[in-house]
């Protein structure tokens, strides 16, 4: 198992449109960020996706990855967040 500290959660929330996952995944693969898990659902008409990614070996720093995803989000009109996984693990697991 890779170091848990390198894992991040990416969430995408917004109006559904063609190619959201493709855009995000392209950015991640260009930057050597490995996707471990994807789940997706529609909540009250809104596209809602969560990815667990491994940033060990990523070509970009955490903060730069956040900025890159922000820019994509703005471009396609969705909100994209990238947060360290630890905060969710701590809150939801004893």
Partner 1 sequence: MINIWEVNETNNMVEHDNLDVRTITIGISLLECIDSNLEKLNENIYSRITAVAKDLASVGEKIEREYGIPIVNKRIAVTPIALVGGAACHSPEDFVTIAQTMDRAAKKVGANLIGGYSALVSKGMTKADEMLIQSIPTALCATERVCSSVNLASTKTGINMDAVKLMGEILLQLATQSKDRDSVDCMKLVVFCNAPDDNPFMAGAFHGITEADAIINVGVSGPGVVKAALEKVRGENLEVLCETIKKTAFKVTRVGQTVAREASRLLGIPFGIVDLSLAPTPAVGDSVADILCEIGLEYAGAPGTTAALAMLNDQVKKGGVMASSYVGGLSGAFIPVSEDQGMIDAVQAGAITLEKLEAMTCVCSVGLDMIAIPGDTKATTISGIIADEMALGMVNQKTTAARLIPVIGKGVGDTVEFGGLFGYAPIMPVNRFSCDDFINRGGRIPAPIHSFKN
90 interacts with partner 1 by CB under 8 A: yes
Beta bridge partners of 7: 54
Tell me if 1 contacts partner 1 by CB under 8 A. no
In whole angstroms, what is the distance from residue 77 CA to residue 47 CA? 11
Q: How far is the CB of 9 from partner 1 (least distance, A)?
A: 6
Q: Which stretch binds partner 1 (CB under 8 A): 19-27, 68-76, 80-88?
A: 80-88
Q: Is the dihedral of CA 50, 53, 59, 65 positive or negative?
A: positive
H-helix or E-strand spanning residue 35: strand 34-43
Q: Which residues contact partner 1 by CB under 8 A?
A: 9, 11, 36-37, 39-41, 43, 48-50, 52, 62-63, 66, 81, 83-92, 94
């Amino acid at each position: 198992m890779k170091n848990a500290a390198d894992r991040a959660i990416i969430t995408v929330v917004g109006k559904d449109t063609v190619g959201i996952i493709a855009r995000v995944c392209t950015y991640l693969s260009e930057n050597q960020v490995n996707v471990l898990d994807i789940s997706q659902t529609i909540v009250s008409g809104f596209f809602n996706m969560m990815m667990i990614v491994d940033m060990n070996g990523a070509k970009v720093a955490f903060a730069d990855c956040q900025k890159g995803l922000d820019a994509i989000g703005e471009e396609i009109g969705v909100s994209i967040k990238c947060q360290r996984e630890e905060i969710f693990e701590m809150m939801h697991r004893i």
